[in-house]
Structures are given as C-alpha cells and as structure tokens.
Chains A and B, each alone.
Chain A
C-alpha cells in the first residue's frame, strides 16, 4: 500500500484513493466527426506501460478531487503529483 500526496489534502494512504487509468487522454470535442477507428483509439487504447506512467487518481475517500500522478509501475514509486489541467512537471 503506497502513500499518495494528494495536492489538496497532503499525504494519505492508498486505500483512500481510486485509480482512474491513464492520464492526458482528452475526450474528443467533436466525437461525431471521428471515424470508428479514431473513436476506438480514444475509447479503448491504453498504453499500460511498465515504467514511468502518467495516471489519473481520485481522492475518493477524502476531498473527492481528481488529480494526476506520475508513477513508476515497475516499483510503485510516485515521481510527482499535479492538479488536473496542469502540465506534467519535468521528472
């Protein structure tokens, strides 16, 4: 169980959070204009990296805010946390 530094509440146990998959996948603004393949790319395709991965997390048993986490999936080390809409920090 790792510790996550919620940008709104501070460091808390992992059990207070919910993982929300890969970050920085923008919902297309004009979905109806996309081809099936383009829509499928948004809907289904995720990288699932072994190593540094950009992820969404939600402090579901806390402030309920969504934010971004940079995590090394091979050892669960969290490199950075930053708010939604912010650019990822250099790591």
Chain B
C-alpha cells in the first residue's frame, strides 16, 4: 500500500495541480513543483537504486545536486533517454518515466546484491590486484568488467533535442541565489551595474526562503519573510537578469564561465517540442561573486548508507519546502546544532522525532533547549554504532562515546526508526573557486577549507566563504560587498539580525563502532562504495598522496565527484598519517561542477554544421554527375565519377586511361593561391623556396619546394611570375592556410624590411585543369584567339587571355605528366567555363576525373604529394629531389638544417619506387617493408606511402620510403602481411615517360 506522507501547507508546491509519473513502471502522483525525489518520498519510497560495486540498496540522501545515490535513468528505450539523472534535481512533469539503475532484474531483487556478501574479497584495488595475471586472461576479464561497469545506459539513438550557445557579457555575475546572492544582487543592481544572478534551482531563495524559525530574525521578521521582500525588490531592477535552473559548469581564468541553462527538462513532452532544451552560456564577467553556499557533511559510521538515512538539512527541506515527511519515526544524528533546527521544523509540522543522538558532550544553545523542552529525547556524547534494515532503515544501535571519541563504551541501546537524519557540519562549496585557480586555506577551528587567494576579480560570500550563522553572514557580506562593489553606504549597514544556534561542533571524521574497523562498512563515497577501511588499506599499502588514494579507492570519482565524502577521506588520511589537513591539500576540482550533456557542449554544431564545409564553384556539376566526394581539409573534392554503378577501382582505371589516351578534366579550384606583390617579391620567394627565383622571366612558371627551418619538406606548388613585381603562388589544398601564416610570420618578424604584400586569393578563382594528348585541341576550341604554339605557350609558361569577354589566366603546367593546361577564371564564371570545356571536349571524350585518378597519374610519374609521401621527417635530399635545392643561394628557410650531421646521414629514409613480383598485387599504403623475414625482432626498413594499379602500365606501382633506399635500386625486399609475404623490388620512383615526351603530347 502506498502511503501519502504529504503534510499540509507548503506554499512552494501547488497542491491543486496533480502530476502523474512512473517510477519502475508503477504510476505515482506528485504535485507541480515537486522534484522526483520529493514526490517519491511523499509516496514513502526511499529505495531508488543500487550502489556501484556492492549493489547495496540505496535511497535519497540529499535534496540537491550533490546527490550520490538517487540517480535514475529517464525515458528508457527512447532517443530522449538519459542516465544518471539526479532524482533530487529533476522536476516531475506529466508523463515522466524514471527507472532505477545498476540493478537487475529489479531494484527490489538485484542479482548483483551478491557482491555485498562477497565484499570481504572485494577490497579497494581489487581489480588492479586480481586481473593482473595470467596476462593472457585479460581479454576474458575485460569482457566481464565492461559488462558490469558503468551506471545507467547511454542512449543508442542520436540526440533529437536542440541545444544552443549564447555569449553573455556582464559587469557582475553572482553565482547562487541564496540569501548572500540576493544581497549581492541588490547591492550590485542598485549601484547601476549590469548584473546576472544564476541559480541551479527552479527558484531563488536558497535555504533561507523556507527558514521560518522564530530563532532567526532579520529586522524583527522571520528570515524567510524578510527574504521574500528582498526578492520582490530585486525583481524590479531592469539591469538585473535572474536565470534559474542555470548551473555554472566551469569557472575559467579571466572570469570566463560556462553555465548550463536548463529550459525544458521540467516540461511535459508536448510542451518541449521544437524548443531549445539547454543553452550553454559563455559568460564573461568583469566581477564574479560566488555565493554557492555549503554542502552538509554526512557522518561516517558503520552501515551509514541504508535507504532512509539522509542528510538532516535535506529532511528539513523536504518538510519545509516540499511539505513531505521523509519518515514517520525520525531520529537525528549530529555533531552540531543543525539537526536541532530540523527537529524543530519536524516537530512544528507534527512529524515525529524519536530521538537526537549528539556526539557532543553538552550543548547550551537556545535551540537545543527548546528541542529538549518539546520532549524530544537527546542522547549526548553518544554515537550510532550500527544500523539495521536491508531496503529501509528499521532501527539503530547507540553507544556512549569515549572522551577522545576513538572508542565506544557502555550499554548498547536500540531505537526504532524509519528515517535517520545525519548532520556532520558544513563544507563550503569552493569547487568553482578552485577551478578558477583560487588557493584554499584550511580553517583548523571549523575543519573546513575556505578561499584564500583570488586569481581574478572575484569574491566568495556567505557559507561558501565559511560563514554559517545568519548574523555573521549578513554583517560580513555587507562589509565584503561594499568594498568589492565600491559602495560607500548600504541599506544593510544598520540591519538587525538575531540567531540562536551554537556554532560548536565536535568533529570526528570516522566514528567508532563496537566492531573492529575491518568488520564495518562506513561509507565515505556512497556512489563508488568507498569505505573508511578502503582508505586505511590504501594507506597501509603505501599510498600517501591524496590524488593517489583517490584513484586507488575511487573515492570521489563518481558522477557526484565526491561532493559529500571527500572531506572525510582527507580527514581520515590526515589522522592516520599524522599529516596536517592544510599540508595534505584537496584533490583537484575539475569542471563540470555537475554533469553536462554532450548536446549542450556542442550546441548547434552538429551534423553538417559540425565543421565548415568549403565547396568549389563547380561543386554542383560534380554532384549532378554522380561524383563521390572526399574531404581534403574542409574542402569537398570530387573523388571519382562512377558511371553505371562502376566500382571505385573501375572508375579510376577508366578515368586514368582516358586522361592519358585522349583528355581528362579536373577541378583544381581547391589549390591554395597566394597573390604576392611588391618590389622585393622575387627576393622573398628566393628566401622561402629552395630554388632560385630571381631569374624567372615574366610569363613563366616554376615549381617550388618549401621547407621548415628544420630542413623538412613543408609544402610545394607552382608559382607564376605575372609581372616584374607580381607573382601568384599555388600551394597544396590542405596546406594553404598554414603556408600563408608561415609567410606572414617571416615577413612581419624576420624580414620586415622586405617590400612584399601577401593576399590569399584561393576563393577568388576557379581552377580547371585539362590534360592529355588532345588537351591542346580542346583548349584551342575554348580560346580560339590564343596562340598555343610551343613558341607562344611552352611548358611552364602562362598567358593572360579572354574567354567570352572574361579575363582569365592560362598556365601550361602539369601534375600528370601529360600536356596540360590550367585555366584560372574569376570564381563565379567557373561553372560556365567548365561546361564550355566539357562541350568543346565532347568529340575527344573528355573525361572528368577526381582526386583519386589525379593521385594515380602523378604516382606513375613519381611526383610526390606533400603529406602523403612526406611526413615532416623528409628532406628534399631524402626525396631524391636534390635538383631543386640551390647550391648557390646563401640562405633560404631550412638551408642550414640540410647540412646538420643528422640530415646528412646516408641511412635516412628515402623515397623510392616499388614494383611487386606479381604485377596484380596492389600493396597496402602504410605496409611495413623488411629485408629479412627470419630476423627477430624484425627490423622495419620503411613503409609504403602511395600504391595504385596503373592501367597505363598495366601493373601495380608504389612509392615508399626506405632506409638508405637510394642505394638499394634493384634490391629485393619483403612486405609481411597478415596472411602472406609480398616480394617487392626497389626501382626508380618515375614509372612512366622518364623522358617527359608526353608534356608535349609526343606519345
């Protein structure tokens, strides 16, 4: 039977609008304003999931984003599914479906629960120790580990939601909308500053907004009604933006922060449609005010993890804010006064408190006196030594604590309960502060880390700064904020605040039990099942650094990042090793503060918007003619043009033959083009290329090789002298941007005296290359007025000309070894020129070819492709291109490096050609080359860089780099593959037309 534990009269919950949802298949009801956790608690459900390692039943511990246990899978088996959603954060909506995680077949009966009984043989480091040997078993182990690892199930379908990014610039960013954040917002907005206030909850007000106690008064009002008024007032400011359901994920340097604004997760499916689900805010703030509050600490004692054991502050929030009783028989267990506040709240609402167990010897605060006066039994100087109940706490056993707090004594007392609230004091939420580079200091008195050194214009106020008492918070905030915001007078100057609790707490990191530690399970990290004895074991095994202990025990490595238990882990290490907490330090807090969906991180940059796509002016023609495309950098390049369902191989063979036998046409528009002008342009080229440029005549083209300063080949391409002081350089498609950047670098920083101007004109021109024995006939049809004779336009020269009244440049340059013309025309005429050439070439069967055929044709000629045949470890000498390195020039980029002892070694890897014994055997690019198959370990001499079946030579050809390859001409080597060894012979890398007769169409 489902009991309803809703008390009447919470104004934060709309008890008139009922919402139905499903948990593990059963339908329940809650109200608008409930979180999944509060709605489940109202239905008396505590058991939410199973722990990661031992599969112990676990319930709701907290009421916020620090929740370690109550994590669920929502919208199971749909594209909208999401694992590890904190039940304490997700707001219920009509139709919400949630499911327990890490249990099979169900949360009530979980096979994995056997791990709990195996726990004596599953200590910290179990996996590291056990699965080490025998090594050959690893694959089997891995299978099982992978199947038992991980919480929840990741979605299998693409994320259908919409996400976006937004930049925000503000004067002041305030993180956290509790009482401190609201004070800061008011002071900042009143001062006229553009202010942004963010809070991860659906409403601002923090925990003060439901603090209705008579013990806390501000200007003679209860603190909640005072704060309500403040909220009303700040809502009036036009220069203040309040974003709720917005959590800061990361705080980077220079006050740059990332926030996740949750827009639709609380809405039912029909209202979510077509809306942006989450927005990643990129905030740049002049000043940041951290008012992130504090997290209540649990207490570490034996079996402190059963469903029904919760933080005392969470019980208070469920009662005061959600109007939900977490139990009917409550016990509070504390080391400070916080639990007494909870007791009073529960008592006022008629929720029974059976007892308070206080580890302190005495406490004289007014609030504790009131609790005692109300007839609640207080056990002082006592501790809980064990808890009972498998799927829900049933009772606890209590004993007297020794005066040093290290052992227990006296009679064991049993008290029944169905809910145990634990209060271990407060930990300031300094995560964001440390992410930003802030340095903490340890406060010995309160046993907390607090902000000390701020790396940017930021300040921490309120409980995240270590101030926990209302009066202290308000007085200190006023002082700090006035200084930080440069305000001389504030309305808070004469505020009257009264508080009643006693700050004293008795801090014992690990509470003793009547059992020895080895027989206890005192959890520190609930999600990862790390216990106090695991920490001690790690220390015994020699781990000292907190970062090492963390990784060995997995403490703090769950989705909650150890928000609750990390301090206890530190405390126990400090106590055991005798090192001071301040010297031990904390583990590193890394972004994101709470998990962030990938969708939010990528925003709109999905699918075709993932990266920029560059298309040539002729792209539509390629698409229409069935081209297959390949990505070259950001460019889409036609790869090959299959006809009648041809395979890639058949298409490339056909295209390659056509280009050599009649005519081929290539869209080369993607080649990088840099316009170089200035009186020192030729001197500049002299310095950046390995060969000489001063004597290049106007109207002539020259191939150039560019090195890095270390002597390695960087880029290549043809540069044409258009005029005395005007050149146009072509670069590789992928290298264009880097080459321009490199040239600019040298011009600006090393040779500022040179009069040279560089302009990238890659996108300004369409480039069409026509090659083959009939290319000249086709070009003469396209440009009848142009004299194409050898005298007028010899190989490696250019002419300005006009086609259909459009100016263009015709260059006679060749990357295929065929007679070849490259026409550059203003980009927007590219398509019409391409179509005109196709038209004129029809009678010669002009064949469009793609990058694959281009690569094949140039490989037949032994021309390198920088980046395919080279990899930044090859000099021009290694490439057998000594001819292009000027001996006369005094200097060029990389020259000195060519004479380093290392670059002059003759056993460097050098470019060679390879022929296979079987002419039909096409090598795999990247395959390793060896000389001796019997050698162990076998020595790799080099690898295949380019490999094709040449239809023009009717055999397989390859380029390769081989150690000392230049001197190995004719030598037989081997390429060992998975199933066979391939016999190859080293040959000259030029396979076709060594005499270059084809350049002039002499076949």
| A binding-site residues for B, Cβ under 8 Å | 1-3, 18, 20, 26-28, 30-32, 34, 36, 39-40, 43, 56, 58, 60, 64-66, 75-76, 84-85
Contact of B455 among A18, A31, A60, A75 (CB under 8 A): A75
User: Provided the pairs A31-B891, A75-B437 are in contact, do residues A43 and B710 lie with their beta carbons within 8 angstroms?
Assistant: yes
Q: Note all chain B residues with C-beta closer than 8 A to A43.
A: 709-710, 897
Q: List 11 other contacts, CB 8 Å, given A58-B741, A75-B437, A84-B748.
A: A1-B253, A2-B253, A2-B254, A3-B254, A3-B284, A30-B891, A32-B890, A36-B900, A66-B749, A75-B455, A85-B752
Q: Note all chain A residues with C-beta closer than 8 A to B256.
A: 1-2
Q: How far is the CA of A75 from the CA of B709 in the complex (A)?
A: 31
Q: Note all chain A residues with C-beta closer than 8 A to B897.
A: 39, 43
Q: Note all chain B residues with C-beta closer than 8 A to A1.
A: 252-254, 256
Residue B764 CB within 8 A of the other chain: no
Most buried by B among A3, A20, A31, A60: A31
Minimum C-beta distance from A26 to chain B (A): 8
Residue of B nearest to A78 (CB): B254
Residue B744 CB within 8 A of the other chain: yes
Q: Note all chain B residues with C-beta closer than 8 A to A28.
A: 896
Question: Can you list the 9 inter-chain pairs with the closest CB atoms, starting with the nearest?
Answer: A31-B896, A2-B254, A66-B748, A27-B750, A1-B256, A76-B253, A39-B896, A3-B254, A66-B749
Q: Note all chain A residues with C-beta closer than 8 A to B748.
A: 65-66, 84
Minimum C-beta distance from B420 to chain A (A): 45
Q: Note all chain A residues with C-beta closer than 8 A to B750.
A: 26-27
Query: Is B896 in contact with A34, judged by CB distance below 8 angstroms?
Result: yes
CB-CB contacts of B736-757 with A at 8 A, as 1s and 0s? 0000010011001110100000
Which residues of chain B from 747 to 772 have a CB within 8 Å of any chain A CB?
A: 748-750, 752
Q: Note all chain A residues with C-beta closer than 8 A to B891.
A: 30-32
Minimum C-beta distance from B65 to chain A (A): 25
Q: How far is the CA of A48 from the CA of B925 in the complex (A)?
A: 38
Residue of B nearest to A84 (CB): B749
Minimum C-beta distance from A53 to chain B (A): 16
Minimum C-beta distance from A41 to chain B (A): 12
Minimum C-beta distance from A89 to chain B (A): 19
User: Provided the pairs A1-B252, A31-B891, A60-B741 are in contact, do residues A84 and B752 lie with their beta carbons within 8 angstroms?
Assistant: yes
Query: Is B896 in contact with A32, judged by CB distance below 8 angstroms?
Result: yes
Which residues of chain B from 597 to 637 have a CB within 8 Å of any chain A CB?
A: none
- List 30 contacting pairs A-B, 8 Å CB cutoff, sorted by A: A1-B253, A1-B254, A1-B256, A2-B253, A20-B745, A26-B750, A27-B709, A27-B750, A28-B896, A30-B891, A32-B890, A34-B896, A36-B900, A36-B901, A39-B896, A39-B897, A39-B900, A43-B897, A58-B741, A58-B744, A60-B741, A66-B744, A66-B749, A75-B253, A75-B455, A76-B253, A76-B254, A84-B748, A84-B749, A84-B752
Most buried by A among B253, B896, B901: B896
Minimum C-beta distance from B746 to chain A (A): 8
Q: How far is the CA of A40 from the CA of B254 in the complex (A)?
A: 37
Minimum C-beta distance from B799 to chain A (A): 33
Q: How far is the CA of A31 from the CA of B455 in the complex (A)?
A: 44
Query: Is B749 in contact with A56, judged by CB distance below 8 angstroms?
Result: yes
Query: Is A66 in contact with B253, judged by CB distance below 8 angstroms?
Result: no
Q: Note all chain A residues with C-beta closer than 8 A to B741.
A: 18, 58, 60
Residue of B nearest to A33 (CB): B896
Q: How far is the CA of A30 from the CA of B891 in the complex (A)?
A: 8
Contact of A66 among B252, B709, B745 (CB under 8 A): B745
Q: Note all chain A residues with C-beta closer than 8 A to B710.
A: 43
Minimum C-beta distance from A31 to chain B (A): 4
Which residues of chain B from 790 to 821 have a CB within 8 Å of any chain A CB?
A: none
Q: How far is the CA of A27 from the CA of B336 in the complex (A)?
A: 68
Q: Note all chain A residues with C-beta closer than 8 A to B745.
A: 20, 58, 66
Residue B895 CB within 8 A of the other chain: yes
Q: How far is the CA of A40 from the CA of B896 in the complex (A)?
A: 10
Which residues of chain B from 688 to 742 have a CB within 8 Å of any chain A CB?
A: 709-710, 741
Q: Note all chain A residues with C-beta closer than 8 A to B437.
A: 75
Q: How far is the CA of A34 from the CA of B900 in the complex (A)?
A: 10
Q: Note all chain B residues with C-beta closer than 8 A to A64.
A: 744
Query: Is A31 in contact with B254, judged by CB distance below 8 angstroms?
Result: no
CB-CB contacts of B552-565 with A at 8 A, as 1s and 0s? 00000000000000
Q: How far is the CA of A28 from the CA of B890 in the complex (A)?
A: 13
Minimum C-beta distance from A75 to chain B (A): 6
Residue of A nearest to B758 (CB): A64
Minimum C-beta distance from A56 to chain B (A): 7
Minimum C-beta distance from A81 to chain B (A): 14
Most buried by A among B254, B752, B900: B254
Q: Note all chain B residues with C-beta closer than 8 A to A76.
A: 253-254
Q: Note all chain A residues with C-beta closer than 8 A to B890.
A: 32
Residue of B nearest to A26 (CB): B750
Q: How far is the CA of A15 from the CA of B745 in the complex (A)?
A: 19
Minimum C-beta distance from B736 to chain A (A): 14
Q: How far is the CA of A34 from the CA of B899 in the complex (A)?
A: 11
Minimum C-beta distance from A24 to chain B (A): 10
CB-CB contacts of B107-138 with A at 8 A, as 1s and 0s? 00000000000000000000000000000000
Q: How far is the CA of A84 from the CA of B254 in the complex (A)?
A: 25
Minimum C-beta distance from B537 to chain A (A): 36
Q: How far is the CA of A2 from the CA of B284 in the complex (A)?
A: 10
